Amino acid sequence: MDKLKDWLKGLEYQVLAGDPDMEVSDVVYDSRKAEPHTVFVCMAGSRIDSHDFIPEVYQKGCRAFVVEKDRESLLQDQALRDLLQEGAGEALTVIRVENARHALALLSAARFSHPEKKMTVIGLTGTKGKTTTAFLLKSILEHCGKRVGLIGTNGCEIAGVHYETRNTTPESYEISQRFAAMVEAGCEYAVMECSSQGFKMHRTDGIRFDIGMFLNISPDHIGPLEHADFEEYLSCKKQIFRQSEKGILNLDDHRAEEILKEAPCSMYTYGIQKPAQLQAEGIRYIADGSFVGVEFDTKGLLSGTWRLSLPGEFNVSNALAALMTSSLLQLPEEKVREALSRIHVDGRMEIVWKTDRFQVLVDYAHNEVSMESLLATLRSYRPKRLVVLFGCGGNRSKDRRTGMGAAAARAADYTILTADNSRFERTEDIIRDIREAYLAAGGSVTKLTEIPDRREAIRYAVSHAEPGDMIAVIGKGHETYQEAMGVRTHFSDREEILRAVEEEQ
Protein backbone atom coordinates (compact mmCIF):
# COMPACT_ATOMS: atom_id res chain seq x y z
CA MET A 1 0.00 0.00 0.00
CA ASP A 2 0.99 3.65 -0.44
CA LYS A 3 0.93 6.66 1.84
CA LEU A 4 -1.89 9.16 1.35
CA LYS A 5 0.60 12.02 1.65
CA ASP A 6 2.43 10.70 -1.42
CA TRP A 7 -0.79 10.70 -3.46
CA LEU A 8 -1.44 14.30 -2.38
CA LYS A 9 1.77 15.61 -3.97
CA GLY A 10 1.00 18.34 -6.47
CA LEU A 11 -2.25 19.25 -4.72
CA GLU A 12 -2.88 22.29 -2.57
CA TYR A 13 -4.75 21.07 0.50
CA GLN A 14 -5.55 21.65 4.15
CA VAL A 15 -5.64 18.94 6.80
CA LEU A 16 -8.92 19.34 8.71
CA ALA A 17 -8.47 16.23 10.82
CA GLY A 18 -6.15 13.26 11.25
CA ASP A 19 -2.81 12.57 9.61
CA PRO A 20 -2.14 12.06 5.86
CA ASP A 21 0.76 9.76 6.80
CA MET A 22 -1.60 6.78 6.58
CA GLU A 23 -1.69 3.75 4.29
CA VAL A 24 -4.17 3.71 1.41
CA SER A 25 -4.88 1.27 -1.41
CA ASP A 26 -7.42 2.90 -3.73
CA VAL A 27 -9.44 6.01 -4.57
CA VAL A 28 -13.25 5.92 -4.70
CA TYR A 29 -15.92 8.51 -5.40
CA ASP A 30 -18.88 6.10 -5.33
CA SER A 31 -19.92 5.35 -1.73
CA ARG A 32 -20.91 1.80 -2.73
CA LYS A 33 -17.26 0.98 -3.51
CA ALA A 34 -15.85 2.27 -0.22
CA GLU A 35 -13.94 -0.15 2.01
CA PRO A 36 -11.00 -0.08 4.44
CA HIS A 37 -7.89 1.72 3.14
CA THR A 38 -9.76 3.57 0.42
CA VAL A 39 -9.79 7.36 0.02
CA PHE A 40 -13.33 8.68 -0.48
CA VAL A 41 -13.47 11.84 -2.60
CA CYS A 42 -16.56 13.93 -1.79
CA MET A 43 -18.09 16.07 -4.53
CA ALA A 44 -21.09 18.39 -4.41
CA GLY A 45 -23.07 17.86 -7.62
CA SER A 46 -26.26 19.43 -8.95
CA ARG A 47 -28.39 16.60 -7.55
CA ILE A 48 -26.24 14.66 -5.07
CA ASP A 49 -23.75 15.90 -2.48
CA SER A 50 -21.51 12.97 -1.61
CA HIS A 51 -20.36 14.73 1.59
CA ASP A 52 -23.67 13.41 2.95
CA PHE A 53 -22.39 9.83 2.58
CA ILE A 54 -19.38 10.24 4.88
CA PRO A 55 -21.06 8.49 7.87
CA GLU A 56 -22.16 5.59 5.65
CA VAL A 57 -18.69 5.28 4.12
CA TYR A 58 -17.14 5.41 7.61
CA GLN A 59 -19.23 2.39 8.59
CA LYS A 60 -17.65 0.50 5.67
CA GLY A 61 -14.22 1.01 7.16
CA CYS A 62 -13.03 3.98 5.14
CA ARG A 63 -11.01 6.45 7.22
CA ALA A 64 -9.62 8.89 4.63
CA PHE A 65 -11.80 11.60 3.09
CA VAL A 66 -11.13 14.38 0.60
CA VAL A 67 -13.73 17.14 0.90
CA GLU A 68 -14.56 20.55 -0.57
CA LYS A 69 -16.40 21.89 2.49
CA ASP A 70 -14.68 23.65 5.37
CA ARG A 71 -14.79 22.32 8.93
CA GLU A 72 -17.60 24.64 10.01
CA SER A 73 -19.84 23.46 7.18
CA LEU A 74 -19.13 19.81 7.95
CA LEU A 75 -19.93 20.32 11.65
CA GLN A 76 -23.44 21.51 10.78
CA ASP A 77 -24.34 17.87 10.12
CA GLN A 78 -24.95 16.03 13.42
CA ALA A 79 -23.61 12.69 12.14
CA LEU A 80 -20.45 14.31 10.84
CA ARG A 81 -20.08 16.32 14.03
CA ASP A 82 -20.13 13.10 16.02
CA LEU A 83 -17.51 11.50 13.80
CA LEU A 84 -15.22 14.49 13.96
CA GLN A 85 -15.31 14.76 17.75
CA GLU A 86 -12.06 13.72 19.36
CA GLY A 87 -12.16 10.16 20.67
CA ALA A 88 -15.20 9.17 18.58
CA GLY A 89 -13.95 5.76 17.42
CA GLU A 90 -11.08 5.42 14.97
CA ALA A 91 -9.58 8.73 13.87
CA LEU A 92 -10.54 10.15 10.50
CA THR A 93 -8.20 11.89 8.16
CA VAL A 94 -10.03 14.69 6.39
CA ILE A 95 -8.30 16.62 3.61
CA ARG A 96 -9.89 19.79 2.26
CA VAL A 97 -9.26 20.89 -1.36
CA GLU A 98 -10.64 23.71 -3.46
CA ASN A 99 -11.90 21.44 -6.23
CA ALA A 100 -12.58 17.76 -5.52
CA ARG A 101 -12.83 16.82 -9.19
CA HIS A 102 -9.36 18.20 -9.78
CA ALA A 103 -8.18 16.32 -6.71
CA LEU A 104 -9.78 13.09 -7.96
CA ALA A 105 -7.82 13.37 -11.22
CA LEU A 106 -4.47 13.86 -9.49
CA LEU A 107 -5.12 11.26 -6.80
CA SER A 108 -6.15 8.73 -9.46
CA ALA A 109 -3.02 9.34 -11.52
CA ALA A 110 -0.87 8.87 -8.40
CA ARG A 111 -2.78 5.74 -7.35
CA PHE A 112 -1.89 4.14 -10.72
CA SER A 113 1.73 5.40 -10.60
CA HIS A 114 1.24 8.06 -13.27
CA PRO A 115 0.76 5.89 -16.39
CA GLU A 116 0.18 9.04 -18.47
CA LYS A 117 3.89 9.79 -18.14
CA LYS A 118 4.90 6.38 -19.53
CA MET A 119 3.35 6.77 -23.02
CA THR A 120 3.12 9.33 -25.78
CA VAL A 121 -0.35 10.77 -25.16
CA ILE A 122 -2.26 12.42 -28.00
CA GLY A 123 -5.44 14.35 -27.16
CA LEU A 124 -7.95 15.76 -29.61
CA THR A 125 -11.00 17.93 -29.26
CA GLY A 126 -13.61 19.39 -31.61
CA THR A 127 -17.35 19.51 -32.17
CA LYS A 128 -17.07 17.11 -35.10
CA GLY A 129 -14.55 14.57 -36.27
CA LYS A 130 -12.99 13.47 -32.96
CA THR A 131 -13.82 9.80 -33.35
CA THR A 132 -12.83 9.61 -37.01
CA THR A 133 -9.51 11.39 -36.41
CA ALA A 134 -8.76 9.24 -33.37
CA PHE A 135 -9.30 6.09 -35.40
CA LEU A 136 -7.22 7.48 -38.25
CA LEU A 137 -4.36 8.00 -35.82
CA LYS A 138 -4.79 4.60 -34.21
CA SER A 139 -4.83 2.87 -37.60
CA ILE A 140 -1.77 4.77 -38.82
CA LEU A 141 0.23 4.05 -35.67
CA GLU A 142 -0.70 0.37 -35.70
CA HIS A 143 0.15 0.09 -39.40
CA CYS A 144 3.56 1.51 -38.47
CA GLY A 145 4.03 -1.30 -35.97
CA LYS A 146 3.18 0.64 -32.82
CA ARG A 147 1.02 -0.62 -29.97
CA VAL A 148 -1.78 1.85 -29.26
CA GLY A 149 -4.53 2.39 -26.71
CA LEU A 150 -7.60 4.51 -27.48
CA ILE A 151 -10.28 6.19 -25.36
CA GLY A 152 -13.27 7.86 -27.03
CA THR A 153 -16.91 7.90 -28.05
CA ASN A 154 -16.83 4.33 -29.36
CA GLY A 155 -15.33 3.06 -26.09
CA CYS A 156 -11.83 2.07 -25.04
CA GLU A 157 -9.51 -0.26 -26.95
CA ILE A 158 -6.41 -1.80 -25.39
CA ALA A 159 -4.32 -4.38 -27.26
CA GLY A 160 -7.31 -5.48 -29.34
CA VAL A 161 -9.72 -5.71 -26.39
CA HIS A 162 -12.77 -3.41 -26.40
CA TYR A 163 -14.25 -1.88 -23.24
CA GLU A 164 -17.48 0.10 -23.06
CA THR A 165 -17.40 3.65 -21.67
CA ARG A 166 -20.37 5.81 -20.71
CA ASN A 167 -18.80 9.09 -21.81
CA THR A 168 -16.53 10.19 -24.65
CA THR A 169 -14.05 11.29 -21.97
CA PRO A 170 -14.57 9.03 -18.94
CA GLU A 171 -14.16 10.06 -15.31
CA SER A 172 -10.54 10.78 -14.36
CA TYR A 173 -10.19 7.61 -12.27
CA GLU A 174 -11.22 5.47 -15.24
CA ILE A 175 -8.81 7.33 -17.53
CA SER A 176 -5.88 6.57 -15.21
CA GLN A 177 -7.10 2.99 -14.78
CA ARG A 178 -7.26 2.50 -18.56
CA PHE A 179 -3.90 4.21 -19.08
CA ALA A 180 -2.37 1.82 -16.55
CA ALA A 181 -3.84 -1.14 -18.46
CA MET A 182 -2.36 0.27 -21.66
CA VAL A 183 1.09 0.49 -20.09
CA GLU A 184 0.70 -3.07 -18.79
CA ALA A 185 -0.23 -4.21 -22.32
CA GLY A 186 2.90 -2.59 -23.74
CA CYS A 187 1.25 0.39 -25.43
CA GLU A 188 3.63 3.11 -26.56
CA TYR A 189 0.88 5.53 -27.51
CA ALA A 190 -2.48 6.59 -26.07
CA VAL A 191 -4.98 8.44 -28.25
CA MET A 192 -7.83 10.15 -26.40
CA GLU A 193 -10.88 12.11 -27.47
CA CYS A 194 -11.32 15.07 -25.13
CA SER A 195 -14.86 16.41 -24.83
CA SER A 196 -15.73 19.89 -23.60
CA GLN A 197 -17.54 18.26 -20.66
CA GLY A 198 -14.40 16.28 -19.92
CA PHE A 199 -12.44 19.51 -19.58
CA LYS A 200 -15.21 21.26 -17.65
CA MET A 201 -15.47 18.40 -15.16
CA HIS A 202 -11.66 18.22 -14.72
CA ARG A 203 -11.47 14.64 -16.01
CA THR A 204 -8.21 15.27 -17.88
CA ASP A 205 -6.52 17.34 -15.17
CA GLY A 206 -2.91 16.37 -14.63
CA ILE A 207 -2.44 14.96 -18.13
CA ARG A 208 0.24 16.64 -20.20
CA PHE A 209 -0.48 15.82 -23.84
CA ASP A 210 2.55 15.33 -26.04
CA ILE A 211 0.34 16.49 -28.91
CA GLY A 212 -3.04 18.20 -28.61
CA MET A 213 -5.38 18.83 -31.54
CA PHE A 214 -8.24 21.30 -32.02
CA LEU A 215 -10.30 20.18 -35.02
CA ASN A 216 -13.20 22.67 -35.14
CA ILE A 217 -15.98 24.23 -33.14
CA SER A 218 -19.66 24.99 -33.73
CA PRO A 219 -22.62 25.47 -31.33
CA ASP A 220 -23.48 22.23 -29.51
CA HIS A 221 -23.80 20.85 -25.97
CA ILE A 222 -25.27 24.12 -24.71
CA GLY A 223 -28.01 23.78 -22.11
CA PRO A 224 -28.79 23.54 -18.38
CA LEU A 225 -26.84 20.29 -17.86
CA GLU A 226 -23.98 21.03 -20.25
CA HIS A 227 -22.55 24.51 -21.04
CA ALA A 228 -24.10 27.84 -20.12
CA ASP A 229 -23.31 29.37 -23.51
CA PHE A 230 -21.06 29.10 -26.55
CA GLU A 231 -18.24 31.08 -24.96
CA GLU A 232 -18.01 28.63 -22.06
CA TYR A 233 -18.08 25.76 -24.56
CA LEU A 234 -15.22 27.35 -26.53
CA SER A 235 -13.23 28.10 -23.38
CA CYS A 236 -13.39 24.45 -22.34
CA LYS A 237 -12.25 23.33 -25.79
CA LYS A 238 -9.27 25.71 -25.65
CA GLN A 239 -8.05 23.86 -22.57
CA ILE A 240 -6.45 21.27 -24.87
CA PHE A 241 -3.59 23.65 -25.68
CA ARG A 242 -3.06 24.67 -22.06
CA GLN A 243 -2.23 21.01 -21.40
CA SER A 244 -0.13 20.27 -24.49
CA GLU A 245 3.55 20.35 -25.43
CA LYS A 246 2.70 20.76 -29.12
CA GLY A 247 -0.61 21.88 -30.63
CA ILE A 248 -2.22 21.17 -34.00
CA LEU A 249 -4.95 23.53 -35.23
CA ASN A 250 -7.35 23.55 -38.17
CA LEU A 251 -6.91 27.02 -39.70
CA ASP A 252 -10.17 26.68 -41.65
CA ASP A 253 -12.19 26.96 -38.43
CA HIS A 254 -13.91 30.33 -37.95
CA ARG A 255 -12.32 30.82 -34.51
CA ALA A 256 -8.85 29.63 -35.52
CA GLU A 257 -7.07 33.00 -35.46
CA GLU A 258 -8.29 33.72 -31.93
CA ILE A 259 -7.35 30.24 -30.74
CA LEU A 260 -3.91 30.41 -32.38
CA LYS A 261 -3.17 33.78 -30.79
CA GLU A 262 -4.01 32.54 -27.29
CA ALA A 263 -2.33 29.11 -27.49
CA PRO A 264 0.56 28.82 -24.99
CA CYS A 265 2.32 25.85 -26.68
CA SER A 266 4.21 25.35 -29.94
CA MET A 267 1.62 25.35 -32.73
CA TYR A 268 1.33 23.62 -36.11
CA THR A 269 -1.47 24.34 -38.58
CA TYR A 270 -3.33 22.54 -41.36
CA GLY A 271 -6.14 23.51 -43.69
CA ILE A 272 -7.88 23.22 -47.01
CA GLN A 273 -9.27 26.70 -47.59
CA LYS A 274 -6.61 28.78 -45.83
CA PRO A 275 -2.83 28.69 -46.28
CA ALA A 276 -1.32 26.51 -43.56
CA GLN A 277 1.83 24.58 -42.76
CA LEU A 278 0.14 21.48 -44.16
CA GLN A 279 -2.41 22.15 -46.88
CA ALA A 280 -4.63 19.95 -49.03
CA GLU A 281 -5.56 20.74 -52.61
CA GLY A 282 -6.96 19.05 -55.69
CA ILE A 283 -9.58 16.95 -53.86
CA ARG A 284 -11.09 14.27 -56.13
CA TYR A 285 -14.29 12.40 -55.20
CA ILE A 286 -14.36 8.70 -56.07
CA ALA A 287 -17.42 6.44 -55.87
CA ASP A 288 -17.72 3.11 -57.66
CA GLY A 289 -18.75 -0.41 -56.78
CA SER A 290 -15.53 -1.13 -54.89
CA PHE A 291 -14.38 2.18 -53.38
CA VAL A 292 -16.00 5.29 -51.94
CA GLY A 293 -13.59 7.95 -50.79
CA VAL A 294 -11.30 10.76 -51.91
CA GLU A 295 -7.90 11.45 -53.37
CA PHE A 296 -6.05 14.67 -52.56
CA ASP A 297 -2.65 16.29 -52.77
CA THR A 298 -0.74 18.04 -50.00
CA LYS A 299 1.93 20.69 -49.88
CA GLY A 300 3.99 22.16 -47.06
CA LEU A 301 5.37 19.89 -44.35
CA LEU A 302 4.27 16.86 -46.39
CA SER A 303 3.93 16.77 -50.16
CA GLY A 304 2.37 14.01 -52.19
CA THR A 305 -0.86 12.32 -53.24
CA TRP A 306 -3.04 10.49 -50.75
CA ARG A 307 -6.07 8.20 -51.07
CA LEU A 308 -8.53 8.11 -48.16
CA SER A 309 -11.21 5.43 -47.94
CA LEU A 310 -13.66 7.80 -46.25
CA PRO A 311 -15.99 10.12 -48.18
CA GLY A 312 -15.85 13.88 -48.38
CA GLU A 313 -13.89 17.06 -47.80
CA PHE A 314 -14.55 17.02 -44.09
CA ASN A 315 -12.67 13.75 -43.78
CA VAL A 316 -9.79 15.24 -45.77
CA SER A 317 -9.58 17.79 -42.96
CA ASN A 318 -9.54 14.97 -40.39
CA ALA A 319 -6.85 13.21 -42.41
CA LEU A 320 -4.73 16.36 -42.44
CA ALA A 321 -4.81 16.43 -38.62
CA ALA A 322 -3.65 12.81 -38.59
CA LEU A 323 -0.97 13.50 -41.22
CA MET A 324 0.38 16.45 -39.25
CA THR A 325 0.60 14.24 -36.17
CA SER A 326 2.35 11.53 -38.18
CA SER A 327 4.87 14.09 -39.39
CA LEU A 328 5.58 15.32 -35.84
CA LEU A 329 6.02 11.70 -34.72
CA GLN A 330 8.32 11.06 -37.72
CA LEU A 331 6.36 8.01 -38.87
CA PRO A 332 7.35 6.41 -42.22
CA GLU A 333 5.45 8.14 -44.99
CA GLU A 334 4.69 5.07 -47.09
CA LYS A 335 3.21 3.24 -44.12
CA VAL A 336 1.03 6.27 -43.37
CA ARG A 337 -0.13 6.37 -47.00
CA GLU A 338 -1.08 2.68 -46.93
CA ALA A 339 -3.00 3.10 -43.65
CA LEU A 340 -5.10 6.01 -44.99
CA SER A 341 -6.17 4.02 -48.04
CA ARG A 342 -7.45 1.16 -45.86
CA ILE A 343 -9.08 3.07 -43.01
CA HIS A 344 -12.44 1.98 -41.60
CA VAL A 345 -14.27 3.78 -38.79
CA ASP A 346 -17.35 2.24 -37.21
CA GLY A 347 -20.38 4.47 -37.62
CA ARG A 348 -18.57 7.46 -39.15
CA MET A 349 -19.43 7.74 -42.84
CA GLU A 350 -19.19 3.97 -42.81
CA ILE A 351 -20.16 2.45 -46.17
CA VAL A 352 -22.12 -0.63 -45.11
CA TRP A 353 -23.33 -1.70 -48.55
CA LYS A 354 -22.06 -0.65 -51.95
CA THR A 355 -22.90 -1.80 -55.44
CA ASP A 356 -23.09 -0.08 -58.79
CA ARG A 357 -26.87 0.17 -58.17
CA PHE A 358 -27.01 1.93 -54.77
CA GLN A 359 -25.01 2.55 -51.60
CA VAL A 360 -25.98 2.62 -47.93
CA LEU A 361 -23.91 4.24 -45.21
CA VAL A 362 -24.15 4.80 -41.46
CA ASP A 363 -23.11 7.98 -39.68
CA TYR A 364 -23.34 9.38 -36.16
CA ALA A 365 -24.55 12.84 -37.29
CA HIS A 366 -27.11 13.81 -34.65
CA ASN A 367 -27.48 17.58 -34.89
CA GLU A 368 -28.16 20.15 -37.59
CA VAL A 369 -24.53 21.15 -38.25
CA SER A 370 -23.16 17.62 -38.55
CA MET A 371 -26.14 16.53 -40.62
CA GLU A 372 -25.77 19.40 -43.09
CA SER A 373 -22.05 18.72 -43.37
CA LEU A 374 -22.68 15.04 -44.01
CA LEU A 375 -25.36 15.60 -46.65
CA ALA A 376 -23.27 18.25 -48.43
CA THR A 377 -20.41 15.77 -48.53
CA LEU A 378 -22.58 13.00 -49.98
CA ARG A 379 -24.04 15.42 -52.54
CA SER A 380 -20.49 15.82 -53.91
CA TYR A 381 -20.70 12.21 -55.16
CA ARG A 382 -23.65 13.19 -57.37
CA PRO A 383 -26.16 10.50 -56.35
CA LYS A 384 -29.36 10.31 -58.38
CA ARG A 385 -31.25 10.57 -55.08
CA LEU A 386 -29.88 11.40 -51.65
CA VAL A 387 -32.06 9.61 -49.11
CA VAL A 388 -31.71 10.30 -45.38
CA LEU A 389 -33.20 8.18 -42.59
CA PHE A 390 -33.12 9.57 -39.05
CA GLY A 391 -34.87 10.37 -35.78
CA CYS A 392 -33.69 12.30 -32.76
CA GLY A 393 -32.95 11.49 -29.14
CA GLY A 394 -35.64 12.13 -26.57
CA ASN A 395 -35.25 14.25 -23.43
CA ARG A 396 -32.79 16.54 -25.18
CA SER A 397 -33.09 20.09 -26.49
CA LYS A 398 -35.87 20.34 -29.08
CA ASP A 399 -33.63 22.64 -31.12
CA ARG A 400 -31.67 19.55 -32.14
CA ARG A 401 -34.66 17.78 -33.68
CA THR A 402 -36.08 20.88 -35.36
CA GLY A 403 -32.66 21.72 -36.77
CA MET A 404 -32.30 18.25 -38.23
CA GLY A 405 -35.78 18.47 -39.76
CA ALA A 406 -34.87 21.75 -41.45
CA ALA A 407 -31.55 20.31 -42.66
CA ALA A 408 -33.37 17.36 -44.28
CA ALA A 409 -35.73 19.75 -46.08
CA ARG A 410 -32.80 21.74 -47.48
CA ALA A 411 -30.39 18.96 -48.37
CA ALA A 412 -32.10 15.60 -48.93
CA ASP A 413 -34.11 14.34 -51.91
CA TYR A 414 -36.13 11.96 -49.78
CA THR A 415 -36.55 11.74 -45.99
CA ILE A 416 -37.60 8.85 -43.75
CA LEU A 417 -38.38 9.73 -40.12
CA THR A 418 -38.06 7.09 -37.44
CA ALA A 419 -37.01 6.37 -33.83
CA ASP A 420 -33.61 7.15 -32.29
CA ASN A 421 -33.24 6.61 -28.53
CA SER A 422 -36.58 8.18 -27.65
CA ARG A 423 -35.77 7.67 -23.96
CA PHE A 424 -38.82 8.82 -21.95
CA GLU A 425 -40.57 10.63 -24.80
CA ARG A 426 -42.98 9.14 -27.31
CA THR A 427 -41.32 8.47 -30.66
CA GLU A 428 -44.40 9.83 -32.43
CA ASP A 429 -44.08 13.16 -30.60
CA ILE A 430 -40.44 13.51 -31.62
CA ILE A 431 -41.29 12.66 -35.23
CA ARG A 432 -44.08 15.25 -35.16
CA ASP A 433 -41.63 17.97 -34.07
CA ILE A 434 -39.19 17.00 -36.82
CA ARG A 435 -41.97 16.89 -39.42
CA GLU A 436 -43.21 20.36 -38.51
CA ALA A 437 -39.71 21.79 -38.85
CA TYR A 438 -39.20 19.90 -42.12
CA LEU A 439 -42.38 21.31 -43.64
CA ALA A 440 -41.74 24.82 -42.30
CA ALA A 441 -38.33 24.76 -44.03
CA GLY A 442 -39.96 23.97 -47.38
CA GLY A 443 -39.84 20.18 -47.35
CA SER A 444 -42.39 18.33 -49.48
CA VAL A 445 -44.87 15.95 -47.89
CA THR A 446 -44.59 13.78 -51.03
CA LYS A 447 -40.90 13.23 -50.28
CA LEU A 448 -41.41 12.27 -46.66
CA THR A 449 -42.21 8.92 -45.04
CA GLU A 450 -42.72 8.28 -41.32
CA ILE A 451 -42.03 4.81 -39.91
CA PRO A 452 -41.59 4.87 -36.10
CA ASP A 453 -40.04 1.38 -35.97
CA ARG A 454 -36.38 1.91 -36.97
CA ARG A 455 -35.94 -1.69 -38.15
CA GLU A 456 -38.93 -1.38 -40.47
CA ALA A 457 -37.73 2.04 -41.63
CA ILE A 458 -34.39 0.58 -42.71
CA ARG A 459 -36.13 -2.25 -44.54
CA TYR A 460 -38.32 0.28 -46.31
CA ALA A 461 -35.32 2.38 -47.38
CA VAL A 462 -33.48 -0.63 -48.82
CA SER A 463 -36.52 -2.21 -50.50
CA HIS A 464 -37.46 1.11 -52.15
CA ALA A 465 -33.91 2.00 -53.26
CA GLU A 466 -33.66 3.24 -56.83
CA PRO A 467 -30.64 2.95 -59.14
CA GLY A 468 -28.13 5.66 -58.26
CA ASP A 469 -29.41 6.15 -54.70
CA MET A 470 -27.15 6.98 -51.79
CA ILE A 471 -28.94 6.20 -48.51
CA ALA A 472 -27.67 7.74 -45.27
CA VAL A 473 -28.86 6.10 -42.06
CA ILE A 474 -27.83 8.62 -39.43
CA GLY A 475 -27.95 9.50 -35.75
CA LYS A 476 -26.81 6.28 -34.11
CA GLY A 477 -23.58 5.49 -35.91
CA HIS A 478 -21.56 2.99 -33.87
CA GLU A 479 -24.26 2.49 -31.21
CA THR A 480 -25.53 -1.04 -30.68
CA TYR A 481 -28.64 -0.27 -28.67
CA GLN A 482 -32.01 1.42 -28.85
CA GLU A 483 -33.25 3.16 -25.70
CA ALA A 484 -36.93 3.63 -24.88
CA MET A 485 -38.66 4.18 -21.54
CA GLY A 486 -35.48 3.50 -19.59
CA VAL A 487 -34.79 0.17 -21.30
CA ARG A 488 -31.93 -0.50 -23.71
CA THR A 489 -32.32 -3.28 -26.27
CA HIS A 490 -29.77 -4.45 -28.82
CA PHE A 491 -29.98 -2.60 -32.11
CA SER A 492 -27.34 -1.99 -34.77
CA ASP A 493 -28.02 0.06 -37.90
CA ARG A 494 -25.23 -1.83 -39.64
CA GLU A 495 -26.73 -5.24 -38.82
CA GLU A 496 -30.21 -4.16 -39.87
CA ILE A 497 -28.96 -2.77 -43.19
CA LEU A 498 -27.16 -6.00 -44.05
CA ARG A 499 -30.21 -8.02 -42.99
CA ALA A 500 -32.47 -5.86 -45.17
CA VAL A 501 -30.15 -6.19 -48.15
CA GLU A 502 -30.04 -9.97 -47.72
CA GLU A 503 -33.86 -10.13 -47.67
CA GLU A 504 -34.00 -8.21 -50.93
CA GLN A 505 -31.56 -10.46 -52.79
Cα 439 from chain centroid? 32
Question: What value does the mean pLDDT take over residues 325-340?
Answer: 96
Provide the H-helix boundaries in 255-305.
256-262
Residue closest to 42 by CA, chosen among 110, 106, 94? 94
DSSP state of 243: T
Does residue 363 contact residue 374 with C-beta atoms inside 8 Å? yes
Residues 6+ apart with CB under 8 A from 419: 391, 427, 430, 452, 453, 454, 457, 482, 484
- Ranked by mean pLDDT, which of 219-223, 376-380, 489-493 comes out on top? 489-493
In the predicted structure, residue 87 carries a pLDDT above the cut 70: no
Least confident of 81-85, 118-122, 420-424, 460-464: 81-85
Residue 383 three-state SS: coil
Cα 24 from chain centroid? 32
Question: What value does the mean pLDDT take over residues 301-322?
Answer: 93
**Max intra-chain CA distance, the chain:** 82
In the predicted structure, residue 291 carries a pLDDT above the cut 90: no
Mean pLDDT of the chain: 92
Does residue 451 contact residue 460 with C-beta atoms inside 8 Å? yes
In the predicted structure, residue 457 carries a pLDDT above the cut 90: yes
Report whether CATH 3.40.190.10 matches the domain 2-109: no
Q: Are strands 120-125 and 189-193 parallel, antiparallel or unpaired?
A: parallel
Which phi-psi region, left, alpha or beta, contains residue 369 (left: φ > 0; alpha: ψ -120 to 50)? alpha
Backbone angles phi, psi at 244, to 5 degrees: -120, 150
Residues 6+ apart with CB under 8 A from 244: 123, 208, 209, 210, 211, 212, 265
In the predicted structure, residue 69 carries a pLDDT above the cut 50: yes
Residue 72 burial by CB count (10 A; 0-12/13-18/19+): exposed, middle or buried?
exposed
DSSP class per residue in 9-22: TT---EEEES-S-S
> Cα separation of 125 and 199, whole Å?
10
> Cα separation of 29 and 171, whole Å?
10
Q: Are strands 93-96 and 120-125 parallel, antiparallel or unpaired?
A: unpaired
- pTM confidence score: 0.80
In the predicted structure, residue 500 carries a pLDDT above the cut 60: yes
> Residue 55 is inside which H or E element, if any?
helix 54-59
More confident residue, 433 or 83: 433
> Cα separation of 244 and 505, whole Å?
52
Residue closest to 4 by CA, chosen among 116, 106, 72? 106
> Cα separation of 254 and 261, whole Å?
13
> Cα separation of 133 and 235, whole Å?
22
Residue closest to 175 by CA, chosen among 119, 224, 128? 119
- Give me the CATH code for the 113-342 domain, please: 3.40.1190.10
In the predicted structure, residue 448 carries a pLDDT above the cut 80: yes
Least confident of 7-11, 47-51, 218-222, 333-337: 218-222
Question: What value does the mean pLDDT take over residues 366-386?
Answer: 91
Per-domain residue ranges of the chain: 2-109, 113-342, 350-504
Looking at residue 499, its amino acid is: R
Residue 220 confidence (pLDDT)? 61
> Cα separation of 385 and 148, whole Å?
40
CA distances from 278 to 125, 263, 270, 312, 334 (A): 19, 18, 5, 18, 17
Q: What is the pLDDT of residues 428-445, one digit of tens each?
A: 999 999 999 999 999 999
Residue 77 confidence (pLDDT)? 83
DSSP state of 50: G
Residue 484 confidence (pLDDT)? 95
Domain 350-504 architecture? Alpha-Beta Complex (3.90)
Report the helix count and the strand count for the chain, using DSSP H and E: 17, 26
> Cα separation of 446 and 14, whole Å?
68
